[in-house]
Amino acid sequence: MLTFTTLASGSRGNAALVSCGDTYILLDAGITAKRITAGLASLGMAPEKLTAILITHEHSDHIAGLQVLTKRLRIPIYATPPVCRQLCYRVADLDELVRPQEAGSGVGIGSVWAESFSTPHDAAGSVGWSIAGEGGRMVLCTDLGHITQQVRQAVEGCDLLVCEANHDEDWVKSGPYPYYLKRRILGDYGHLSNEAGAELAAFAVETGTRSIILAHLSQQNNTPVRAYEVAARRLLAMDCDLERDVSLSVAPADSLGRAWRPREVSVC
């Protein structure tokens, strides 16, 4: 059965585990290798069991642990060609490990099918990942400044959406960040606000999604309570029962999230 667990999710670092049968995939490696190893151990898994690593883009909060991790684990790394070039430039001895995949293409990895889709972010070759296996399909969709048709197509009908809810717009505008950083965060190639993330969640639910995990929250410009409130309000406006119809949760920034598995619920 397909399962998903965040190891960390936030501005300081991102990593998650997808498993299906004997296939174990690390989604991003933006925390230290030590923390990744500890997180896997908490799930009862040795790092040597990892089948592959999928990378969304080359920003440090998504690849910080890659150098140390790949010294020990010589496993395939899948990313778009621009991201692969950046990884090989930044991390020694990766040439034999990277497996360039054009955005929009898919690849079979063990017992799952992983397909990328372009995301509008200020990083060349940035993508989200759709992963399908026994029992369902999950989509990781973070680090994007606005919602495109490609994003909607990837999200449509998935069982689990891991959806960015990075910031409260008013908190960014009134906060201490310099102007250039505020402009980046709020721009079309920055990050989704709580409201924008809630709209993507609502679209997903309308097309059949039954589980939403809000992710990549800013530690400075958001809180789990605030992100949940905004998304819950949008879903409740659709007459969704958040106990019966749709599961809504927030991924922890610095600790393991709850394991997701497909479940039988009604769709509002």
Q: What angle do CA 106, 77, 145 make, to 5 degrees?
A: 65
Q: Hey, what are 30's tokens?
A: 């933006």
Annotated domain spans of the chain: 3-250
Percentage with pLDDT > 70 across the chain: 98
**Spatial distance between the Cα atoms of 219 and 15, rounded to a whole number of angstroms:** 16
**Spatial distance between the Cα atoms of 197 and 146, rounded to a whole number of angstroms:** 9
Half-sphere exposure at residue 216, Cβ-oriented, CA atoms within 13 angstroms: 27
Q: Is a pLDDT exceeding 80 seen at residue 220?
A: yes
**Spatial distance between the Cα atoms of 126 and 55, rounded to a whole number of angstroms:** 9
Asked whether 265 and 244 are in contact (CB, 8 A), the reply is yes
**Spatial distance between the Cα atoms of 150 and 121, rounded to a whole number of angstroms:** 13
Asked whether 21 and 110 are in contact (CB, 8 A), the reply is yes
pTM for the whole thing?
A: 0.96
Just give the CATH number of 3-250: 3.60.15.10
Neighbours of 183 (CB within 10 A): 12
Distance of alpha carbon 187 from the chain centroid? 20
Q: What is the pLDDT of residues 150-197, one digit of tens each?
A: 999 999 999 999 999 999 999 999 999 999 999 999 999 999 999 999
Which residues, in sequence order, are CB contacts of 177 under 8 Å at separation 6+?
A: 185, 220, 221
Percentage with pLDDT > 90 across the chain: 95
Q: Is a pLDDT exceeding 80 seen at residue 222?
A: yes
Q: Hey, what are 39's tokens?
A: 């997180």
Q: What is the pLDDT of residues 22-77, one digit of tens each?
A: 999 999 999 999 999 999 999 999 999 999 999 999 999 999 999 999 999 999 99
β strands within the chain, DSSP E: 3-8, 15-20, 23-29, 52-54, 77-79, 98-100, 106-109, 112-118, 127-133, 136-141, 160-164, 211-215, 247-250
